[in-house]
Structure 1
Amino acid sequence: MLLYLQEMVGTAVFAITGVLAVRKVDVDIFGAVVLGVITAIGGGTIRDLLLDVPIFWIADFNYVWVALTAALVTFFLASRLQKQAGLLLYLDGLAGALFAIVATEKVLGLHYAVPVAVTMGVLTSIGGGIVRDALAGRVSLLMSREIYATPILLGCVLYVLVRDAIPSIWISGWVTLVFICSFRFVAIYKHLQMPGIFSTK
């Protein structure tokens, strides 16, 4: 139940980021909402296709309803929301953390190896954002020195380690959520970037 709730919250938050990403562009409500929904379900869809399992939102259409509702509400409130500096980045960090936890646990539950679970956790977390930025004509955070995927990767590894040491999804999930969000939020607030030695420049 906890993981389901986390995934629903993550779905809503990612839908919000999708709409905010194109609010300043001349896009009508249909285009904005579609982008919001695609952002919300994109990463999980890619994960399920790669694992050859039933696609999560087809099995439970509530995910689409949640994404649709969040996108619609955001469309009409976007002018107010965008006054908050950096809101899109913080929301993206929160949604990524939630999806990382849920996806890693789901893949472990399918009895895949730990490296596969961690990989799918990262892919699910950043997949929707990559699709969003591509469709919105934005430069993806992944293609910059922004500390973006690193907290998610480390968080997925941490989730596996804590889950192995303390067999509690609740404890593992909250520890990981706090870790990823803290790491990502500090990076956003302090404008931290990866050291030059770890970049192509």
Structure 2
Amino acid sequence: MPTFVQIIEFFGTFAFAISGIRLASAKQFDWFGAYVVGLVTAIGGGTIRDVLLDVTPFWMTNPVYLICSALALFWVVVFGKQLVHLHNTFFIFDSIGLALFTVVGVEKTIALGFPFWVAIVMGSITGAAGGVIRDIFINEIPLIFRKEIYAMACIVGGLVFWGCSFMNLDSMLIQCISGFSVFLTRILAVKYNICLPKLKGE
């Protein structure tokens, strides 16, 4: 039976893959190109995390992540017209993927015995790095470098995870609260146009 963290990872893979495939379809990629964009969106951050943590990348030990990305492509192909009319589809799926993968990154890093500050960094990489690769593939300025709160939402989630751990809450509850904090931070930041100050040149 898959663990709760694995279930989160599966849902995160599906959500992130859909967000990448939706953007690829807007650029009129073919099916293979869209699949590649969705796949790197889903596994890019986790791959970088695992390489830095000196473990085998998660998708190399279980093909289900590649299958999840293929199912996401099938979902977009079948329900593409409906998804196009839902203007916030990309944002919602991207925010869900961001939240779920941040939790997975923090949890895995802690399980490997690293300190919390490393876990927060790895959670942010897991959540945000796939989106950076996606945006490079579709020739866009990565969302993480624009004015929107993105990676900072991952850091908030990591800090919430750390705070809840001190309260000795149930691990599943900690994961849910942490993930929700990432999602809520992202939603509120966009809704109320909250952003970090820009660095101005000469």
Q: TM-score, normalised to structure 1's length?
A: 0.93
Distance 1:172 1:53 in 2: 24
> Which residue pairs with 1:158 in the alignment?
160
Consecutive unaligned residues in structure 2, runs of 5 or more: none
User: Which segment drifts farther, 163-172 or 36-45?
Assistant: 163-172
The CA deviation at 1:52 is 1.1
Q: TM-score, normalised to structure 2's length?
A: 0.92
In the TM superposition, 1:21-170 aligns within 5 A as 21-170=23-172
The CA deviation at 1:35 is 1.0
The CA deviation at 1:167 is 4.4
Q: Deviations over 1:128-186 (max 9, x none)?
A: 10000110111211111111111110111110221232242111011112211111112
**2:42 is matched by which residue type in structure 1?**
A
- Indicate the percent of aligned positions where both proteins have the same amino acid: 29
**2:36 is matched by which residue type in structure 1?**
V
The CA deviation at 1:191 is 3.0
**2:70 is matched by which residue type in structure 1?**
L
The CA deviation at 1:193 is 2.2
Distance 1:148 1:177 in 2: 14
> Which residue pairs with 1:177 in the alignment?
179
> Which residue pairs with 1:193 in the alignment?
195
Q: Which runs of 4+ in 1 moved over 6 A?
A: none
User: Which segment drifts farther, 158-167 or 3-12?
Assistant: 158-167
**2:191 is matched by which residue type in structure 1?**
Y
SS of 1:45's equivalent in the other structure is helix
The CA deviation at 1:3 is 0.9
SS of 1:23's equivalent in the other structure is helix
**1:7 is matched by which residue type in structure 2?**
E
Distance 1:71 1:52 in 2: 31
Distance 2:115 2:134 in 1: 29
Distance 1:121 1:100 in 2: 4
The CA deviation at 1:61 is 1.3
Distance 1:178 1:34 in 2: 28
CA RMSD of aligned residues (A): 1.4
SS of 1:85's equivalent in the other structure is coil
Q: Deviations over 1:10-40 (max 9, x none)?
A: 0000000110112122311111111111111
The CA deviation at 1:72 is 2.5
